[in-house]
């Protein structure tokens, strides 16, 4: 099942140590919110902690806690917002060891490691046929193309029987950009209609907290954890090195289950 970036990040945060996820209540301002659930902690406990609104009005907004007061769990943060906080602003707090931006980057780095293994299905109908043109740039992100269809006279209809282009009569021309080539001696293209390309793509990077990822969350969180500890290693054998080795071992064990075989013709090498 796909998970959002914020779900993945919070998994990593829990593996890294103490982290909080709560909802604001009262004391709502452009740089303040209250949270009674945090009122069990002493004054200044959360000072310098990293925070992020991951849902609600201010979703995707990071901040740093500048002051914390136990009474009411009043949290002051920077930078301030243009609109005051509200009860929809779900937030997370984590100790000042790793920022939410670092964790997001570590997750994307983990995705990059397996982007040519964790293939996803892709269908694209964006290419419109031009009269007497038999080469078309292939849309971004395709790694493999297995089938090509020409749209029928009915807009949006692609028939496996009548519209499928025989694989013997199209090729991929490798270059920048890669192009889809048709043998005009055997293929009749009708200007104005669209082409449907069916194939596989690499998984995309996550840019928003609501973005979904289909890659094994177990692999991603342990690989991200390994990257984070590696970034803090001072010498072989130190605490971060040991934690990195353990996390990397767990990630490697999960990685072997990720690979999806490519189908069709490869677009890029």
Last-in-domain residue among 55, 79, 94: 94
Are residue 13 and residue 102 in the same domain, yes or no?
yes
Does residue 245 sit in the same domain as residue 224?
yes
Q: Summarize pLDDT for 180-194 with one digit per residue, the tens.
A: 999 999 999 999 999
pLDDT tens for each residue of 136-193? 999 988 999 999 999 999 999 999 888 999 999 999 999 999 999 999 999 999 999 9
Based on the domain organization, do 124 and 193 belong to the same domain?
yes
State the pLDDT at residue 246: 97
Q: What are the pLDDT digits (tens) for 208-224? A: 999 999 999 999 999 99
Give yes or no: residues 28 and 89 share one domain.
yes
User: Which 3 state secondary structure label does DSSP give 259?
Assistant: coil
End of a domain among 178, 201, 224? 201
- Residue 211 belongs to domain spanning: 1-17+98-118+203-269
Output the DSSP codes for 90-126.
Answer: EEEEE-TTS-HHHHHHHHHHHHHHTTTTS-EEEEEEE
Q: Phi first, then psi: give them for residue 245, nearest 5 degrees.
A: -60, -45
Domain count, the chain: 3
Query: Has residue 237 got a pLDDT over 90?
Result: no
Output the pLDDT for position 235.
84
On whether both 137 and 259 belong to a single domain, the answer is no
Whether the pLDDT of residue 8 is over 90: the answer is yes
Same domain? For 147 and 127 the reply is yes
pLDDT value of residue 268 = 78
Same domain, yes or no: 102 and 13? yes
User: 12 and 110 share a domain?
Assistant: yes
| Pair (30, 4) in one structural domain | no
Residues 267 and 211 in one domain: yes
- pLDDT value at position 269? 66
Q: Find the mean pLDDT for residues 69-97.
A: 97
227 and 196, same structural domain? Answer: no
Residue 46 and residue 187: Cα distance in Å, rounded?
Answer: 67
Contacts of 36-44 spanning 24+ positions with Cβ under 8 A: 36/72, 36/73, 37/73, 38/68, 38/73, 38/75, 39/70, 39/71, 39/72, 39/73, 40/70, 41/68, 41/70, 41/73, 42/70, 43/68, 43/69, 43/70, 44/68
Residue 251: predicted pLDDT? 98
- % residues pLDDT > 70 (the chain): 100
- Show the beta-strand stretches assigned E in the chain: 3-4, 20-22, 32-33, 50-55, 61-69, 74-78, 90-94, 120-128, 135-137, 142-150, 170-173, 179-182, 194-201, 212-213, 265-266
User: Which residue, of 94, 129, 156, is where some domain finishes?
Assistant: 94
pLDDT digits (tens, 9 = 90+) for 241-268: 999 999 999 999 999 999 999 999 999 7
The pLDDT value given to residue 39: 96
Say if residue 177 is in the same domain as residue 51.
no
């Amino acid at each position: 099942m796909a998970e959002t970036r914020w779900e993945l990040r919070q998994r990593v945060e829990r593996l890294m140590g103490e982290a909080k996820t709560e909802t604001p209540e009262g004391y709502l301002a452009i740089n303040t919110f209250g949270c009674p659930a945090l009122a069990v902690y002493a004054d200044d406990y959360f000072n310098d902690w990293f925070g992020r609104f991951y849902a609600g009005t201010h979703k995707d907004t990071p901040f740093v806690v500048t002051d914390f007061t136990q009474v009411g769990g009043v949290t002051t943060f920077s930078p301030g917002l243009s609109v005051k906080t509200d009860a929809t602003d779900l937030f997370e707090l984590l100790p000042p060891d790793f920022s939410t931006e670092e964790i997001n980057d570590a997750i994307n780095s983990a995705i990059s490691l397996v982007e040519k293994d964790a293939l996803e299905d892709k269908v694209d109908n964006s290419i419109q046929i031009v009269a007497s043109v038999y080469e078309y740039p292939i849309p971004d992100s395709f790694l493999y193309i297995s089938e090509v269809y020409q749209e029928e006279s009915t807009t949006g209809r692609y028939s496996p029987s009548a519209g499928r282009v025989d694989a013997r009569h199209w090729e991929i021309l490798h270059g920048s950009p890669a192009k889809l080539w048709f043998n005009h001696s055997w293929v009749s293209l009708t200007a104005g209609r669209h082409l449907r390309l069916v194939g596989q793509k690499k998984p995309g990077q996550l840019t928003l907290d609501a973005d979904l990822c289909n890659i094994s969350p177990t692999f991603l969180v342990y690989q991200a954890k390994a990257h984070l500890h590696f970034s803090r290693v001072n010498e072989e054998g130190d605490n971060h090195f040991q934690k990195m080795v353990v996390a990397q071992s767990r990630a490697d064990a999960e990685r072997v289950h990720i690979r999806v075989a490519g189908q069709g013709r490869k677009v890029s090498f």
